[in-house]
């Protein structure tokens, strides 16, 4: 009954969200201008540019291939350098925020652990694009500000996930060490070594995400691939856009394939080439251990890439002088104080200022942001759920659940098509998708909903199919062997046992959709992001900070609600 109420509640929330957002079905049909633009834009995909479309630039500008290569390199460099800092934050935050680290319980240590977890949540609740806006407003444009804008939220995310992975790791090794007289640090190392494959695989996944985020920073002036896409769109050079888009997709797919292979090897392990007897010495066991040149080359490549990224930058600081940066920072801090307080010096005026802004536009923007993220997450979940029968490798095959049936070749072909579509969907950044869809559909919420849903349905499709493929349900095999079709087996045996894990993934993406919905309003469609963009243009930094805090608060509330719902479903 709880699952039925959950599904019915999701449908009701989706319908309510469309009503609140005023997303009418008639807006799904683009205008004549939008259809023409879509035709021209997607037609250009068949002929991506190999040179500048503007002939005047060809003779005076740098070669087009050089421009593409520079933008691609900056996209990768900022992502890798940002992840090197985020990893440091994630390791320290993950260790201090985990229960496995604190072997002795006390009020002070518990408070410290909770404080670290809250700090990590605060860092990840603010989108990297908004961090970039804050840094640009405070100290001006600089490569270090762009890199730090990614490092902070990614560090917060890594800290949260690392702490949870450490808490969920097998404590057997730690208990053995403690029983043998090992101290707390040695026992914790036993836990950390057991969790190492999961920690490394998640770090590689975040590196894939960092590449997409690095491209999106181009929309606030950082010269990555996103910046070149934005400039080309403003100039109407659609063939150039597709060149940059295809290069971005190739980079993301490369990192995804690379990370996927690393994850598989870490999970499955490397089989030793020599089988030794039970009486082998420790030195012999060490020499006979499984070795992977691919993993070694990966480690060397990442270290080299990080070093090159840090060193091959002429100036990480802003182009402004030190005095100018300090003056800008001082002005920025002073203008974060609410305007009435700056005028009167009385902090009691803050409440009236806050309530006035919330009544005028804040509550409506907050409400619309919530429903935008919720509607997109629910649509993404529904699309992923409907495609599970094809995206799951153990169903889209001639031998589902290792039982030979008819129609396998067509199923396998369709399954590959669905999985490729999911990869392409999750490879495209939401902000970029929204930017392109708004040109086609006009200023409608459907463009933002579809942008979030396309990206997140690709991720949920992958996560959901892994839940189905890893499910060892004997009932599913019996149903297939008894003549049941794949859909009935999915609904009757596989989904019920994997339902709670899929709900966990849905809430995980819902939190992400809320963060993304906050910044998509910066494209001109009403949400908290629209108010952030207006405050930024008007240099109202007190209002800018208020709207950022409201967006973070929405993520905090979503985190609490998701925990409560998952706990309720487990009972």
Cα angle 506-204-431, degrees, rounded to a multiple of 5:
55
Euclidean distance between CA atoms 489 and 100, whole angstroms: 40
Q: Is the pLDDT of residue 317 over 70?
A: no
> Which residues have C-beta within 8 Å of that of residue 349, sequence separation ≥ 6?
338, 340, 341
Give 556's pLDDT tier (boundaries 50, 70, 90): confident
**Among all chains, which residue has been given the structure tokens 């509640």?**
9
Residues of the chain with pLDDT > 70: what percent? 83
What is residue 355's predicted lDDT score, i.e. its pLDDT? Answer: 92
Q: Is the pLDDT of residue 86 over 90?
A: yes
> Which residues have C-beta within 8 Å of that of residue 25, sequence separation ≥ 6?
none
What is residue 461's predicted lDDT score, i.e. its pLDDT? Answer: 85
Q: Is the pLDDT of residue 69 over 60?
A: yes
CB neighbours of residue 265 within 10 Å: 17
Distance of alpha carbon 227 from the chain centroid: 20
Give 280's pLDDT tier (boundaries 50, 70, 90): low
What is residue 103's predicted lDDT score, i.e. its pLDDT? Answer: 64
Query: What are the DSSP E strand ranges found in 434-526?
Result: none
Q: What is 356-571's CATH topology?
A: MetI-like fold (1.10.3720)
More confident residue, 324 or 77: 77
More confident residue, 522 or 353: 353
Q: Give yes or no for a contact between 89 and 155, defined as CB atoms under 8 angstroms apart.
A: yes
Give 487's pLDDT tier (boundaries 50, 70, 90): confident
Give Cα separations from 550 to 71, 114, 437, 533 (angstroms).
34, 21, 27, 14
Euclidean distance between CA atoms 155 and 121, whole angstroms: 10
Give the number of C-alpha atoms closer than 13 A to the C-alpha of residue 57, restricted to the C-beta side: 12
Give 169's pLDDT tier (boundaries 50, 70, 90): low
Euclidean distance between CA atoms 10 and 2, whole angstroms: 12
What is residue 527's predicted lDDT score, i.e. its pLDDT? Answer: 79
What is residue 178's predicted lDDT score, i.e. its pLDDT? Answer: 58
CB neighbours of residue 179 within 10 Å: 9
Q: Give yes or no for a contact between 514 and 555, defined as CB atoms under 8 angstroms apart.
A: yes
**Range of lowest pLDDT (63-67, 309-313, 361-365):** 309-313
CB neighbours of residue 63 within 10 Å: 11
Give Cα separations from 483 to 349, 387, 410, 416, 478 (angstroms).
72, 21, 18, 24, 9
Q: Is the pLDDT of residue 121 over 80?
A: yes
Please give the CATH superfamily to which domain 63-271+289-317 belongs: MetI-like (1.10.3720.10)
| pLDDT, average across residues 67-89 | 91
More confident residue, 347 or 507: 347
> Which residues have C-beta within 8 Å of that of residue 117, sequence separation ≥ 6?
97, 159, 160, 163
| Helical packing angle, 528-538 and 363-386, nearest 10° | 130
- pLDDT digit string, tens, across residues 3-47: 777 788 888 988 998 898 888 888 888 777 777 878 888 888 888
Give the number of C-alpha atoms closer than 13 A to the C-alpha of residue 348, restricted to the C-beta side: 1
Give 87's pLDDT tier (boundaries 50, 70, 90): very high
Nearest to residue 143, comparing CAs of 255, 327, 311? 311
- Range(s) within the chain of domains with CATH label 1.10.3720.10: 63-271+289-317, 356-571
Residues of the chain with pLDDT > 90: what percent? 8
**Range of lowest pLDDT (167-171, 178-182, 396-400):** 178-182
Give 110's pLDDT tier (boundaries 50, 70, 90): confident
| pLDDT, average across residues 62-77 | 89
Q: Give yes or no for a contact between 133 and 220, defined as CB atoms under 8 angstroms apart.
A: yes
- pLDDT digit string, tens, across residues 240-256: 888 998 898 888 888 87
| pLDDT, average across residues 272-301 | 67
| pLDDT, average across residues 125-150 | 81
**pTM for the structure as a whole:** 0.80
Euclidean distance between CA atoms 247 and 424, whole angstroms: 13
Structure tokens at 508: 């995980």
Q: Where are the alpha helices (DSSP H) in 337-407?
A: 339-344, 350-357, 363-386, 388-391
| pLDDT, average across residues 514-521 | 83
Whole-number average pLDDT of the chain: 80
**Among all chains, which residue has been given the structure tokens 């797919």?**
253
| pLDDT, average across residues 440-455 | 87
- pLDDT digit string, tens, across residues 532-551: 888 888 888 899 889 888 88
What is residue 480's predicted lDDT score, i.e. its pLDDT? Answer: 73
- pLDDT digit string, tens, across residues 400-429: 766 776 656 777 788 788 888 888 888 778
> Which residues have C-beta within 8 Å of that of residue 501, sequence separation ≥ 6?
467
Q: Give yes or no for a contact between 172 and 234, defined as CB atoms under 8 angstroms apart.
A: no
Give 179's pLDDT tier (boundaries 50, 70, 90): low
Q: Give yes or no for a contact between 532 and 130, defined as CB atoms under 8 angstroms apart.
A: yes
| Helical packing angle, 541-570 and 363-386, nearest 10° | 40
Euclidean distance between CA atoms 400 and 390, whole angstroms: 11
More confident residue, 510 or 321: 510
Q: Is the pLDDT of residue 277 over 60?
A: no
**Range of lowest pLDDT (133-142, 172-181, 337-346):** 172-181
């Amino acid at each position: 009954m709880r699952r039925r109420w959950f599904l019915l509640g999701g449908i009701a929330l989706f319908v309510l969200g469309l009503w609140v957002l005023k997303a009418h079905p008639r807006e799904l049909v683009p205008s004549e201008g939008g259809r023409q633009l879509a035709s021209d834009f997607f037609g250009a995909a068949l002929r991506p540019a190999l040179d500048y479309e503007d002939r005047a630039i060809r003779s005076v500008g740098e070669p087009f291939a050089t421009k593409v290569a520079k933008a691609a390199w900056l996209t990768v460099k900022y992502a890798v350098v940002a992840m090197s800092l985020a990893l440091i934050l994630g390791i320290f935050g993950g260790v201090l925020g985990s229960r496995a680290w604190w072997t002795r319980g006390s009020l002070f240590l518990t408070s410290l652990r909770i404080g670290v977890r809250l700090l990590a949540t605060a860092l990840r609740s603010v989108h990297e694009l908004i961090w970039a806006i804050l840094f640009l407003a405070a100290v001006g444009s600089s490569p270090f500000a762009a890199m730090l804008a990614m490092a902070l939220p990614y560090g917060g995310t890594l800290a949260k996930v690392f702490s949870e992975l450490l808490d969920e790791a097998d404590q057997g090794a730690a208990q053995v060490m403690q029983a043998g007289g090992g101290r707390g640090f040695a026992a914790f190392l036993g836990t950390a070594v057991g969790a190492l494959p999961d920690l490394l695989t998640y770090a590689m996944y975040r590196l894939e995400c960092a590449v997409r985020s690095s491209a999106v920073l181009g929309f606030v002036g950082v010269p990555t691939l996103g910046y070149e896409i934005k400039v080309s769109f403003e100039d109407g050079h659609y063939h150039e856009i597709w060149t940059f888009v295809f290069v971005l997709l190739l980079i993301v797919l490369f990192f995804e394939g690379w990370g996927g292979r690393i994850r598989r090897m870490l999970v499955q392990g490397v089989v030793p080439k020599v089988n030794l007897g039970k009486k082998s010495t420790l030195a012999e066991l060490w020499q006979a251990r499984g070795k992977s040149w691919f993993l070694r080359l990966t480690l060397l490549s990442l270290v080299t890439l990080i070093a090159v990224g840090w060193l091959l930058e002429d100036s990480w600081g802003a182009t402004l002088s030190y005095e100018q940066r300090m003056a800008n920072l001082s002005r920025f801090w002073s203008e974060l104080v609410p305007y009435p307080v700056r005028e009167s010096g009385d902090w009691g005026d803050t409440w009236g200022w806050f309530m006035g802004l919330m009544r005028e536009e804040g509550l409506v923007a907050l409400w619309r942001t919530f429903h935008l993220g919720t509607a997109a997450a629910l649509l993404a979940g529904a699309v992923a759920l409907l495609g599970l029968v094809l995206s799951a490798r153990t169903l889209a095959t001639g031998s589902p659940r290792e039982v030979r049936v008819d129609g396998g070749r067509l199923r396998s072909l369709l399954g590959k098509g669905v999985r490729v579509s999911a990869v392409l969907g999750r490879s495209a950044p939401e902000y970029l998708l929204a930017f392109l869809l708004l040109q086609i559909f006009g200023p409608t919420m459907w463009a933002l909903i579809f942008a979030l849903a396309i990206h997140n349905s690709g991720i949920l499709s992958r996560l959901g199919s892994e839940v189905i493929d890893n499910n060892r349900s004997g009932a599913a095999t019996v149903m297939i062997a008894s003549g049941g079709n794949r859909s009935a087996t999915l609904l009757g045996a596989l989904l019920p046992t994997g339902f709670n894990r899929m709900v966990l993934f849905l809430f995980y993406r819902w939190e992400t959709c809320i963060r993304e919905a906050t910044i998509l309003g910066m494209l001109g469609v009403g949400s908290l992001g629209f108010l952030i963009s207006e405050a930024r243009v008007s240099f109202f930094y007190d209002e800018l900070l208020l709207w950022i805090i409201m967006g973070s608060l929405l993520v905090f509330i979503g985190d609490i609600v998701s925990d409560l719902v998952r706990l309720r479903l487990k009972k």
